């Protein structure tokens, strides 16, 4: 009995486009070659990418070129290819892992089916339609997203961002336009196409449900789904082996396989299990599992998956908060304060994102001391590479279902489509240990509440999705929406909250008092660095702010307001610096505030990590993977242990230490009132002790500056003779600081092909020391930092690309640049 074989149909296809509905009229679905010239297209791929490669459209991301590409939304797109099958099989199944979005599929001139949901695969039985030993012609029509969206739309409904038609489709919503991107509707066969040749039975799914019994013992229960294409029952053996380093677990079970669907369970104990933890509290151990199905002693199918042994709990009630309501995660019984960001797909043209880009971004999140990413509901369900890398790196994932900022239909047809979609999503992702929460949607409840609609009994988010999660994945919690909690969905007293009081509300960032039980969104916009801006803004439109800026910049008035609070933007460089400083400072204040509330507050997720296109927006990392100033400030604010200063009055300050270690902190806190010329006007030393995994107020200080523009409050935490954390408080807005000039010194400590270690020091106070490398792409362990008089900092420079000579430039807001060769 032969084993299942898989014929990949990825590669170069032929691409055509027509007016909506015209393709069938000219025979694009038929076997004969079309009379029109094809465009070479990659599968997996996307139409805009193919057209750009062919020279038909300009780069959509440059200037306002995207407007020249809007015609693509109004066309039907046809993919065609030929293939051969060299052997017969009992069943031949054609699987499209990702169709975006409104698909009609033809094989050898016959229509074999339709599909209208990009979030789960389309599978067609083509056993009786495939020619064995001969040529087959496969054609896929992807209907015009503009036309098909309007055709499906019902009555107009409230939405935030994009057009209302989007809620009637199951297409990534960001393509209709958002407050961080122009409207670009991707079209394409965006994931692999496979032909499955099956002669007996296949393992469709292996769900691993772990239970942690003790430090020394765990149990895994397997729920196995097998589909048999045989006409008679057969005896079979299912066996598996999973390993994680020296930990190996295996088992087998004799089963009777009936024609059709079969489900069975088996369980086994794991001695001395290697548990999965978020990287900030432990090791993220991942088990790799291989399963086999045998009939008559022969392997007829095999299945590969991975899993982690861990249990996750969403804690909602605790005495820690004034009203007894909290929102934090516990993994294997260890409370974890979530430090992270929201995740938007790293490219609007999602097939362009390869494993290398995913890996670097998730590494950058971890390097910024993050332990959670929230996959936002207006994008896609991410690739396997994304979740696998989060598993391996110990990054928790908050997973929104793909619904955002809209009032969605509740008719039976739509609900059934959503149910099928959700079942696939849950089955596909449930073995990933990184995934700690299913969340129904993004901001739908807030929108409904704002227009006076009932939001707490929506059929999708309070019936369909929770039922699917209970039935198919009882191992992790479900939350109906983000935000969601209490009588008002964005309440600070319950559930999670999107805290936009500063950016949208223009509240004083120095007086943040939000008591959110979990801050799942907050942010501030800033442009990328000038080097990145030059890659998508034409030279003659680069400065002052132009229409090309505004096309990539969705909230210009607020960015201009906040940048003006931090400096006078007289040039491009000054505007970028002041706007990036505003973003960095506001996020720092937010994070320190929420960390002082640990575990009344359960975490802080910044909006957002990376730009999905070249834009001037919220992200910490721009489209070209260059970190903004805020990235480094966030990295420092998310350190394992931080000291922070909370103004109680204009002269009275409380001093706090936030400790994410699972051991107590003991040491000395140095408190000084200083001026920028190095004079110490007040000094105290406090012996401190802070329990493990907690935040604590460790002291108070009365600081009355003689000159508010020249004095600042400085604190440094010292443990075992080493500086663990330092912080400062300025008494005036930073644009009013009176900092005298200083000189920087740079010393090369070591250098290799991988990078260099450098020491930057200053006799005086150096404000916002910035490092750049000329000649090679590089990243830095730290950047945009202050140096206290007579202090210094060692920075690791890592070369990211290129080769040959490189030069480091160190500058500061009050110091001239210093150059040093990295060789």
Q: How far apart are CA 223 and CA 187, in angstroms?
A: 36
Domain ranges of the chain: 5-196, 200-307, 312-637, 641-736, 744-821
Q: Name every residue whose Cβ is closer than 8 Å to that of residue 403 and which is 6 or more positions away in sequence.
A: 173, 377, 440, 441, 442, 444, 460, 461
Contact call for residues 659 and 694 (beta carbons, < 8 A) = yes
- Burial label for 675, CB within 10 Å (0-12, 13-18, 19+), is buried
Question: Could you give the CA distance from residue 382 to residue 432 in angstroms, rounded to a whole number?
Answer: 13
For residue range 249-308, what is the model confidence (pLDDT) as tens digits? 999 999 999 999 999 999 999 999 999 999 999 999 999 999 999 999 999 999 999 999
Pairing between β-strand 260-271 and β-strand 234-244 as defined by DSSP bridges: unpaired
Cα→Cα distances 408→19, 121, 317, 323, 564, Å: 29, 22, 31, 33, 40
Phi-psi region of 297 (alpha: psi -120 to 50; beta: other; left: phi over 0): left
- Top-tier CATH class for 200-307: mainly beta
Structural Rg of the chain based on CA atoms: 29
Q: In the structure encoding, which two tokens stand for residue 546, read together?
A: 């132009």
The helices-and-strands tally (H runs, E runs) of the chain is 14, 45
For residue 335, cis peptide bond before it (omega within 30 degrees of 0):
no
Compute φ and ψ for 481, nearest 5 degrees: -175, 165
Task: Give the residue among 44, 70, 43 at the shortest CA–CA distance from 58.
Answer: 70
Q: What is the sign, positive or negative, of the torsion defined by CA atoms of 600, 606, 607, 608?
A: negative
CATH 2.60.40.10 fits 641-736, yes or no: yes
- Please write down the long-range contacts of 64-69, taking CB distance under 8 Å and 24 or more positions apart: 64/547, 64/548, 64/551, 66/182, 66/183, 66/184, 66/551, 69/184
- 143 membership: H or E segment, kind and range: none
Instruction: Give the model confidence (pLDDT) of 4-14 as tens digits.
Output: 999 999 999 99
User: 577, 581, 557: which is closest to 179 by C-alpha?
Assistant: 557
pTM score: 0.97
Strand ordering across the sheet containing 312-317: 312-317, 325-331, 334-336
> pLDDT category, 555, cuts 50, 70, 90?
confident
> Is there a contact between 737 and 783 (Cβ–Cβ < 8 Å)?
no
More confident residue, 518 or 650: 518
Mean pLDDT in residue range 147-157: 97
Q: Are strands 110-115 and 11-18 parallel, antiparallel or unpaired?
A: unpaired
Buried b (16+ CB within 10 A) or exposed e, 640-672: ebbbbbbeeeeeebebbbbbbeeeebebebbbb
The pair of structure tokens assigned to 58 is 């300009």
Q: What is the structure's pLDDT at 455?
A: 81
Span 312-637 CATH architecture: Alpha-Beta Barrel (3.20)
Count of CB atoms situated within 10 Å of the CB of 24: 17
The mean pLDDT of 176-189, rounded to a whole number, is: 96
pLDDT of residue 465: 99
Q: How many residues does the chain have?
A: 823
Quickly state the pLDDT bin for 551 (edges 50, 70, 90): very high
How does pLDDT run across 636-691, given as a tens digit for each residue?
A: 999 999 999 999 999 999 999 999 999 999 999 999 999 999 999 999 999 999 99
State how far the Cα of 576 lies from the Cα of 582, in Å rounded to an integer.
10
Q: Which pairing describes strands 76-84 and 135-142: parallel, antiparallel, or unpaired?
A: antiparallel
Query: How far out from the chain centre does Cα 457 lie?
Result: 28
Provide the pLDDT for residue 533: 98
pLDDT band at 802 (very low <50, low <70, confident <90, very high): confident
Confidence band for 699, pLDDT divided at 50, 70 and 90: very high
Which residue matches tokens 């369900």? Answer: 381
Structure tokens, 556: 């210009």
Nearest-5° angle of CA 89, CA 94, CA 96? Answer: 155
Fold matches, 641-736 and 744-821: yes
Model confidence over 98-139: pLDDT tens digits? 999 999 999 999 999 999 999 999 999 999 999 999 999 999
Q: Which two tokens stand for residue 300?
A: 């007829």
Mean pLDDT computed over every residue of the chain: 97
Q: Which residues of 180-207 are buried (b: 16+ CB within 10 A; e: fewer)?
A: bbbbbbbbbbbbbbbbbbbbbbbbebbb
* Architecture category of domain 5-196 in CATH: Sandwich (2.60)
pLDDT band at 215 (very low <50, low <70, confident <90, very high): confident
Angle at 191 between CA 188 and CA 194, to 5 degrees: 115
> Which fold would CATH assign to domain 744-821?
Immunoglobulin-like (2.60.40)
Average pLDDT over every residue of 557-569:
89
Q: How many Å apart are CA 359 and CA 354, to the nearest integer?
A: 9
Q: 393-431 pLDDT, tens per residue? A: 999 999 999 999 999 999 999 999 999 999 999 999 999
What pLDDT score was predicted for residue 554? 84
3-state secondary structure 682-741: EEEEEEEEECCCEEEEEEEEECCCCCCCCEEEEEEEEECCEEEEEEEEECCCHHHCCCCC
Q: Which long-range contacts (CB under 8 A, 24 or more apart) does 32-41 make?
A: 34/80, 38/14, 38/80, 39/14, 39/15, 40/12, 40/13, 40/14, 40/15, 41/12, 41/13, 41/14, 41/15, 41/79, 41/188
Which pLDDT belongs to residue 634? 99
Query: Scanning the structure block, which residue is given the tokens 């999503």?
Result: 425
Per-residue pLDDT, 516: 98
pLDDT surpasses 70 at 616: yes
Burial of 689 (0-12, 13-18, 19+ CB in 10 A): exposed
Query: DSSP letter at 120?
Result: S
Residue 232 in this model has a pLDDT that exceeds 90? yes
Note the pLDDT of residue 1: 60
Per residue in 762-799, pLDDT (tens digit) is 999 999 999 999 999 999 999 999 999 999 999 999 99
DSSP 295-357: ETTEEEEEEEEEE-B--EEEEEE-TTSTTSEEEEEEETTEEE-EEEEEE--S-SSGGG--HHH
pLDDT recorded at residue 823: 84
* Closest C-alpha among 429, 440, 361, 434 to residue 625: 361
């Amino acid at each position: 009995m032969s084993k299942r074989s898989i014929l990949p149909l990825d590669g170069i296809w032929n691409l055509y486009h027509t007016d909506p509905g015209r393709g069938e009229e000219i025979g694009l679905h038929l076997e004969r070659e079309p009379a029109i010239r094809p465009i070479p297209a990659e599968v997996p791929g996307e139409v805009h990418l193919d057209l750009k490669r062919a020279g038909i459209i300009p780069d959509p991301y440059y200037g306002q070129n995207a407007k020249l590409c809007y015609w693509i939304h109004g066309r039907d797109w046809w993919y065609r290819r030929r293939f051969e099958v060299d052997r017969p099989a009992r069943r031949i199944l054609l699987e499209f892992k990702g169709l975006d979005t409104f698909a009609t599929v033809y094989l050898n001139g016959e229509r074999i089916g339709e599909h209208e949901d990009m979030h789960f695969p389309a599978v067609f039985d083509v056993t009786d339609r495939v020619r064995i030993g001969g040529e087959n012609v496969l054609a896929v029509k992807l209907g015009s997203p503009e036309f098909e969206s309007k055709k499906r739309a019902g009555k107009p409904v409230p939405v935030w961002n994009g057009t209302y038609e989007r809620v009637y489709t199951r297409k990534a919503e960001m393509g209709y336009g958002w407050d961080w991107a122009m409207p670009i509707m991707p079209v394409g066969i965006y994931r692999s196409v496979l032909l499955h040749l099956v002669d007996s039975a296949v393992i469709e799914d292996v769900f691993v449900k772990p239970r942690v019994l003790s430090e020394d013992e765990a149990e895994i229960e397997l729920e196995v789904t097998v589909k048999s294409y045989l006409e008679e029952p057969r005896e079979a053996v299912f066996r598996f082996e999973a390993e994680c380093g020296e930990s190996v677990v295996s088992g087998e079970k004799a089963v009777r396989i009936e024609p059709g669907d079969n489900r069975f369970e088996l369980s086994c104990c794991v001695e001395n299990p290697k548990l999965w933890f978020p990287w900030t509290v432990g090791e993220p151990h991942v088990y790799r599992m291989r399963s086999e199905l045998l009939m008559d002693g022969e392997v007829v199918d095999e299945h590969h998956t991975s899993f982690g042994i861990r249990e996750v709990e969403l804690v909602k009630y605790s005495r820690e908060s004034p009203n007894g309501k909290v929102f934090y995660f516990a993994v294997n019984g260890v409370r974890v304060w979530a430090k992270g960001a929201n995740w938007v797909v790293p490219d609007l043209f999602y097939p362009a994102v390869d494993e290398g880009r995913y890996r670097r971004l998730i590494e950058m999140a971890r390097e910024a001391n993050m332990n959670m990413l929230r996959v936002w509901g207006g994008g896609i369900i991410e690739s396997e590479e994304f979740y696998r890398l989060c598993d391996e790196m110990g990054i928790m994932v908050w997973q929104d279902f793909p619904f955002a900022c809209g009032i969605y239909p509740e008719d039976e047809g739509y609900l059934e489509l959503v149910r099928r979609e959700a079942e696939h999503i849950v089955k596909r992702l449930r073995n990933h240990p990184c995934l700690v929460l299913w969340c129904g949607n993004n901001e739908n409840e807030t929108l409904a509440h704002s227009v006076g609609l009932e939001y707490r009994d929506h059929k999708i988010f309070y019936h369909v999705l929770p039922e699917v999660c209970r039935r198919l994945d009882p191992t992790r919690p479900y939350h109906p929406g983000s935000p969601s909690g209490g009588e008002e969905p964005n309440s600070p007293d319950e559930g999670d909250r999107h805290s936009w009081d500063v950016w949208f509300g223009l509240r004083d960032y120095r007086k943040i008092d939000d008591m959110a039980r979990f801050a799942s969104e907050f942010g501030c916009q800033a442009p990328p660095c000038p080097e990145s801006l030059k890659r998508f803004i034409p030279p003659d439109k680069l400065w002052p702010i132009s229409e090309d800026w505004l096309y990539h910049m969705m909230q210009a008035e607020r960015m201009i307001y906040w940048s003006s609070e931090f400096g006078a933007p007289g040039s491009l460089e000054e505007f970028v610096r002041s706007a990036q400083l505003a973003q960095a400072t506001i996020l720092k204040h937010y994070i320190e505030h929420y960390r002082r509330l640990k575990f009344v507050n359960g975490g802080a997720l910044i909006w957002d990590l990376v730009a999905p296109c070249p834009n001037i927006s919220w992200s910490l990392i721009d489209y070209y993977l260059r970190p903004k100033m805020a990235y480094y400030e966030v990295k420092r604010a998310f350190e394992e242990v931080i000291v922070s200063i909370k103004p109680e009055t204009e002269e009275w300050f409380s001093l706090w230490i936030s400790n994410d270690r699972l051991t107590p902190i003991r040491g000395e806190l140095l408190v000084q009132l200083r001026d920028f010329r190095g004079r110490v006007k007040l000094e105290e030393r406090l012996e401190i002790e802070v329990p493990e995994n907690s935040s604590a107020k460790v002291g108070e200080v009365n600081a009355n500056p003689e000159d508010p523009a020249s004095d600042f409050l400085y604190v440094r935490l010292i443990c075992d003779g080493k500086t663990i954390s330092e912080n400062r408080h300025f008494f005036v807005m930073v644009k009013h600081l009176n900092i005298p000039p200083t000189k920087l010194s740079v010393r090369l400590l070591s250098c290799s092909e991988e990078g260099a270690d450098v020491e930057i020091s200053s006799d005086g106070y150096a404000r916002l020391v910035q490092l750049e490398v000329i000649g090679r792409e590089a990243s830095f362990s730290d950047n945009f930092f202050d140096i206290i008089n007579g202090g210094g900092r060692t920075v690791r420079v890592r070369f990211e690309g290129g080769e040959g000579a490189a030069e480091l430039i160190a500058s500061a807001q009050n110091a001239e640049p210093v150059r040093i060769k990295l060789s």
